[in-house]
Structure 1
């Protein structure tokens, strides 16, 4: 029995060997597939780089950063603030149409809102009314105009991502407020756009991963109006890691199974980093998931915080992405331009130097004003002497003093008595009016004015019954009151009996 035993042993060894070889081939297949996916996969790859011409201009720079990998998908969005934008009345569509027409292997993906004011925080009540109006055909013409615009631009095979992330709460075209009318509205849009001659559109129905506000299966409008079942999947909840992203209700696995059950291709129009920051494990697992399930296309959202090329805050994830998708591994580091617009050098025009003329400042001589010397008055001043009325002798003038100018009071004129003649009263000396003095920084010295010689009153006539004595009040009062005298009348007439002479 040894021989049969040896044959059995040999057979067992051969079987085990063959099994190991087969197992090794099976284990090596994902590695080869992963490598082939990075180097020569048929999966169309792209990135959202900007909505307008800069997004088109950056595509070749992204390709160079990835070691020459072909970027086959161009992805942009129509503005959802007004119906005019949703109708395609934007100039940047021409730039994307030109890029698409340059190569038959390229794909143009266009996100199209279903309502105006699409990010205007519209209430659920109003959203329900808008959905109902759309289901009744009120907005068909807007989407018919969009279809005509795309056909005229030469991109009739555009992939239309209509009403994306409808199971969430962000957009006015959300499904939750009225799912049944929302599905009816979707159907009307698709039929309106397909009614335009020459169109070849593909309609991509793309919810958020996870249940969000409503399970996305409740918003599916039907196989006849859907060509691709897409999904937007960022590195955020629900789910704590990539395994839960796959296995959770309405997750990545259910998405693949749902599309397969309906006979549809899958896509990932939006994916990228988010809540968990620079997470290279998420990028690695997402790229493997894409390679394994072969979507029609995928586009990473490449701006911060989601991106790996234009966003510099995720260097580890950027390296994983680049290593996985570069055909020949990492190439030389090429600086990433922020805006890859050709820089036209500005010619340097020398500015002529004009010498500034030196204008001498004229020197104005300052006149020297002599300072007048002011004699200081001597104090105290002598008081004027006033003689007693009993001494009728001659009066001597007092010292001359400077006096202020006062208005001249009227001088009373004595009325002569008819019986007796009055003594002669000397006329007042006129005082000259002061002349105007020009203002000067300093007061002018006071020069004493010459005073007229005092006039002695004439003696009274002989044998007169009236005796007058002149009064001298000094120069100051004399100027003010004039020359005054005191007259005494004595009744010594002949009839009185007392006349002495």
Structure 2
């Protein structure tokens, strides 16, 4: 069974008036990510304020470099003009990783990937690029259509040609805005499964900076989760190991994506990863073994992970990811990711 995780739009923001339009251009300038840093940049999704991020860094014992955030996405205005979001991170030293919707979620709007491929929505992404530049975030990482391989998203693709053409239009349009040439685009899938081939929707090397994978400690594979009521410490470790093998070795698991990124000549990213204490029991809960395996994967230069961001959030009622609540794992996380 495909181990499907969820990404959350944990949003509280509104929008103001739109920015002026820019002159379009059809010339793309591909950006090459900086490969000089050998250690993956340390990131987090935890909150919507710099103070909250600094608090997580103090707890973790190291400075946060990348901050993951999402904006409202009900309407096109939400997508193009996320002013509260932009203001939150203005003048901060963090590199911002934005979850960027390809379509608004308001069901009353007649929108489609095919219309985007025709250029019907270029103006909204041009405006967004202008806003990013105006707020000092012209080097943001954009997770355009993140986790598109999950059927719950409105931008879950039907036709590969439409998805690819639309992606390319957005990248070309945004990078054509003066000052936005440094925007980076993260082609971001949800990890796992044996049937859905997301590679059919890869838009090409000139339009992608990172191959991103979101991965959580969840599994529906036999002999993994939920833990039986009588599961001993040894029993739990055996099930955690089987769950990790499912995460890593499934047909479209982490091993596959590491090799795919290498073939494309792109670094990997892990924009969301974490433990998951779930009410249905299909997460490993407080699982230091998962933290150890993820650290091993991230630290292995063969995987070329450019940045990683832990998902430090309690998503009531769907479960909890917080390392500060899952205390055994939190201790191991700090020992491995911020050694003294």
Same fold (TM over 0.5): yes
SS in 2 for 1:99: coil
Runs of 4+ off more than 4 Å = none
Instruction: Write 1 or 2 for the structure with the bigger share of strand.
Output: 2
Partners of 2:190 and 2:270 in 1: CA distance: 10
Partners of 1:92 and 1:216 in 2: CA distance: 30
Match of 1:132 among 99, 114, 126: 114
Q: Give 1:185 deviation, angstroms.
A: 0.9
Please identify the structure whose Cα radius of gyration is greater.
Answer: 1
Residues 172-209 of structure 1 show CA distances to partners (whole Å, capped at 9, x for unaligned) of 1112x222211111111111101101111010001011
Residue 85 (structure 1) aligns with: 78
Partners of 2:294 and 2:192 in 1: CA distance: 16
Within 5 Å, which residues of 2 pair with 1:313-352? 314-328=326-340
- For structure 2, the 5+ residue unaligned runs are 1-36, 222-241, 277-282
Q: Give 1:41 deviation, angstroms.
A: 6.8
Q: Give 1:241 deviation, angstroms.
A: 1.5
Residue 263 (structure 2) aligns with: 261
Partners of 1:149 and 1:212 in 2: CA distance: 40
**Length-normalised TM-score, structure 2:** 0.75
Partners of 2:135 and 2:71 in 1: CA distance: 15
Residue 280 (structure 1) aligns with: 288
Residue 247 (structure 2) aligns with: 245
Residue 20 (structure 2) aligns with: none
Match of 1:168 among 142, 150, 173: 150
Partners of 1:303 and 1:71 in 2: CA distance: 16
Cα 1:85–1:213 shift into 2, 3 Å: farther
**Length-normalised TM-score, structure 1:** 0.51
Partners of 2:178 and 2:255 in 1: CA distance: 38
CA contact (8 A) 1:232 1:269 kept: yes
Partners of 2:330 and 2:323 in 1: CA distance: 6
Match of 1:116 among 92, 104, 118: 104
Residue 71 (structure 1) aligns with: 64
RMSD after superposition: 2.2
CA contact (8 A) 1:205 1:229 kept: yes
SS in 1 for 2:265: coil
SS in 1 for 2:189: coil
Partners of 1:144 and 1:109 in 2: CA distance: 18
Match of 1:48 among 42, 45, 49: 45
Partners of 2:75 and 2:55 in 1: CA distance: 33
Partners of 1:326 and 1:208 in 2: CA distance: 27
Residue 14 (structure 1) aligns with: none
Residue 159 (structure 1) aligns with: 141
SS in 2 for 1:196: coil
**More moved, 69-78 vs 137-146:** 69-78
Partners of 1:231 and 1:218 in 2: CA distance: 16
Q: Give 1:306 deviation, angstroms.
A: 4.6
The count of aligned residue pairs is 271
Residues 390-444 of structure 1 show CA distances to partners (whole Å, capped at 9, x for unaligned) of xxxxxxxxxxxxxxxxxxxxxxxxxxxxxxxxxxxxxxxxxxxxxxxxxxxxxxx
Residues 282-337 of structure 1 show CA distances to partners (whole Å, capped at 9, x for unaligned) of 11111111111341100011012453345x2x222112112212231xxxxxxxxx
Residue 60 (structure 1) aligns with: 54
CA contact (8 A) 1:230 1:268 kept: yes
- For structure 1, the 5+ residue unaligned runs are 1-39, 101-105, 329-501
